[in-house]
Amino acid sequence: MKLQKPSLRTLLTATAAAATLLAVGLPTAAQTQAKYKDEYRMSLVLGIAFPWGQGGQLWADKVRERTNGRINIKLYPGTSLVQGDQTREFSAIRQGVIDMAVGSTINWSPQVKALNLFSLPFLFPDFAAVDAVTQGAPGQEIFKILDKAGVQPLAWGENGYREISNSKHAITQPADLKGLKLRVVGSPLFLDTFTALGANPTQMSWADAQPAMASKAVDGQENPLSVFQAAKLQSVGQKHVTLWGYMNDPLIFVVNKDVWASWTPEDREIVRQAAIDAGREEIAIARKGLVEAGKPLVKELEALGVTVTDLNAEQRKAFADATKAVYTKWKPQIGTNLVDMAEKAIAARK
């Protein structure tokens, strides 16, 4: 069958229709670009003096460089976008008050129960155990849970093992915590853990914690050594530190879902890979001085007049035994299957 050539009138009509579609319906490259914000707000608890803030800065820098400036990110440390209330951060990300964040599993655990996994007392005996969970099947399961909870998770970072300090005396056994007034974050699991150990836990934001220690309103706190060092906690009376490794605080790089959907697939992949790369670098920064022979960071603190007590396995077990009831109570609240998955991954770690 012989095909007929379209008439001039048909061609003109089709051309006009296409022009109309382009004018009113189909976005041009410039129009697509215009959907991007001039600036995206990243929430952080700690600033760039700390490994946590450095992780956020690394992410922001990599994204800006790799997108040729299409995505520009400004850091808001001190959870200033939620008036310093760390436990409100996750809800603010879902609501779009915050565009993206590098957040703590502790701070987000009130909204996402599964994140309490990392706060279970004495679950993680070493860094290899942490990696087995975050980089393995349990970590993937947690990302699925976060996705269902309304944010886009991208990568893992790390605040570190939270070690306990105080202004009174060395802590070597559970009885040494009796009556100590300790600043803790706003997590019910933390309250249960320290109450079980005989301490007097007091919920307090990080912004309020240092003045409280300086004024002796609280006796101590628990945080990674990198935080202790950067915040110079020895200057507010924290003269005794015990390395007990009772829990590790991973960080999670996330983006608000509407923001995520507004980017092209190519830019989403750039942001994801930038988060993975930044997270890997941030973890190395957070562990610096603790994974090398002799733990140089401990030596630096001792040189500042801090007494550092490093518990042996038997001493650590005494604390684990004292908090076993807390572990048992919280396991079903977190999700028995998830905890079992984590325990299995830790047992099989190399």
pLDDT digits (tens, 9 = 90+) for 249-264: 999 999 999 999 999 9
Residue at 24 is within a domain: no
Residue at 312 is within a domain: yes
Determine contact, residues 129/138, Cβ cutoff 8 Å: no
Query: Which pLDDT belongs to residue 86?
Result: 87
Query: Which pLDDT belongs to residue 147?
Result: 98
Structure tokens at 300: 């630096």
Confidence class of residue 9 from pLDDT cuts 50, 70 and 90? low
d(CA 62, CA 71): 10
Instruction: Report DSSP letters for 225-269, one per residue.
Output: HHHHHHHTGGGGT--EEEE----EEEEEEEEEHHHHHHS-HHHHH
d(CA 295, CA 116): 28
CA 53 to chain centre: 11
Query: Which pLDDT belongs to residue 112?
Result: 97
Residue at 20 is within a domain: no
Query: Which pLDDT belongs to residue 206?
Result: 85
Residue at 121 is within a domain: yes
Q: Domain count of the chain?
A: 1
Is residue 9 packed enough to be buried (19+ CB in 10 Å), middle (13-18) or exposed (0-12)?
exposed
Residue at 23 is within a domain: no
Is 337's pLDDT higher than 50? yes
Residue at 28 is within a domain: no
Would the pTM count as exceeding 0.85?
A: yes
Q: What per-residue string of b and e applies to 335-350 under the rule 16 or more CB within 10 Å gives b? A: beebbebbbebbeebe
310 strand-pairing partners: 243
Residue the block writes with tokens 């922001």: 60
d(CA 190, CA 201): 8
Is 30's pLDDT higher than 50? no
Higher per-residue pLDDT: 37 or 17: 37
Is 38's pLDDT higher than 50? yes
Confidence class of residue 273 from pLDDT cuts 50, 70 and 90? very high
d(CA 276, CA 193): 32
Rg (CA), the chain: 25
Confidence class of residue 188 from pLDDT cuts 50, 70 and 90? very high
Is 7's pLDDT higher than 80? no
Q: What is the CATH number of the domain that holds 97?
A: 3.40.190.170
pLDDT one-digit tens code per residue, 157-177: 999 999 999 999 999 999 999
Is 13's pLDDT higher than 70? no
Question: Residues 6 or more apart from 92 whose CB is under 8 A from it?
Answer: 43, 81, 82, 98
Is 297's pLDDT higher than 80? yes
Contacts of 129-138 with C-beta under 8 Å, sequence gap 24+, read 129/346, 129/349, 130/158, 130/248, 130/250, 131/349, 132/345, 132/346, 132/348, 132/349, 133/342, 133/345, 133/346, 134/250, 136/345, 137/341, 137/345, 138/338, 138/341, 138/342, 138/345
Domain range for 225 is 35-347
Is 87's pLDDT higher than 90? no
Q: What is the mean pLDDT of the chain?
A: 92
